[in-house]
Amino acid sequence: MAGPLHLHQYHFINQNLTWTEAQTYCRQTHTDLATIENSEELKQLINTVSSAGHSSDVWLGLYSEIDWKWSDGSGAQYRNWKIAIEPNFLSANQFCVRLDHPGTWIDYGCMQSYTFICYKGTQLDPVFIFVNERMNWTSAQRYCRENHVDLATVRNSTENQRVLSLSPSAKLSWIGLFRGPNFYWSDRIPRFLFSEWDNVPNQIKSNTVICGVTSVQRSGRWKFLSCESRLPFVCYSLIPVPVTRQVVKLRLELEDSVDLEDTAVKAELLKKFPERLKESGVNGVTLKWREQFDGKVFRKERKRKTEL
């Protein structure tokens, strides 16, 4: 059985660089910009930065690609954001767009419930329909697709005014604009299972990519800034961990018809053992059969005779 092969070691670099410059430095000097996969690693990183006497923002390897799309799949060239403050991506959790008055757009959490605008007809000649029911964005999308064509696609200021004229002044309504989370780490290992977002706005503006920072002052919580900002940063390197090996002997009682040396049987057994180990709190192990000198794994025990 073997445990994890590497641990992260973090390195605080007190140079003010852009995110891309910091990434290049880390890749040349260590492994990459800091990746954080759990609360223990976050604590380790914050301790590294704090020990260096630094408490304000530092770059992480975190970034998000900004790719706005319409629900019906059409391009999103026209935008009418509320000037200066939108989209603000509060708490890194606003991926859908609602229509405000007087016709400006606001990014918002997709699970909130609002009225919404559908369209029927074609993309070139849409007919907009106001639906006076409150739903989250996904439910509104489903309703529009089942009853019309899709959530409203707004291609220009004329269509925006048509949509606005349908929505009562007291109503805030979903339109079809949205984007995916698209969160990544610099090392591009396909994982994003842990996060520690700060409850602050993240100004996207016209950026197509925004980059992640953390700070001791904010207890290690994360936010996004323009990747062109200049900040100190944290790299990581991998520390090899000695592999622990252990031989485990098993005694199995099976029907005589079962051939334990069959390749498929041995493979199925190896699938079962990790599941049982997890139930006992043992994780991160690799199992393989140990062959004897004749190539076999199992030995049949002789039955002992009992003399009276």
Mean pLDDT, residues 291-302: 64
The pLDDT value given to residue 2: 40
The CA distance from 256 to 206, in Å, is 70
The pLDDT value given to residue 289: 66
Label residue 85 by pLDDT band (50, 70, 90). confident
Label residue 25 by pLDDT band (50, 70, 90). very high
221: nearest Cα among 204, 203, 199: 199
Instruction: Kindly tell me the burial class for residue 115, based on how many C-beta atoms sit within 10 Å of its own C-beta (0-12, 13-18, 19 or more).
Output: buried
Tokens read off for 145:
């697709």
The pLDDT value given to residue 1: 40
Mean pLDDT, residues 160-172: 88
Say yes or no to pLDDT of 255 above 80. no
Say yes or no to pLDDT of 186 above 90. yes
Label residue 239 by pLDDT band (50, 70, 90). confident
Q: Please, what are the domains in the chain?
A: 6-66+182-240 (3.10.100.10), 69-178 (no CATH), 247-299 (no CATH)
The CA distance from 155 to 72, in Å, is 12
Tokens read off for 77:
């060239």
Strands 222-226 and 96-99: unpaired
Q: What percentage of the chain has pLDDT greater than the value 90?
A: 66
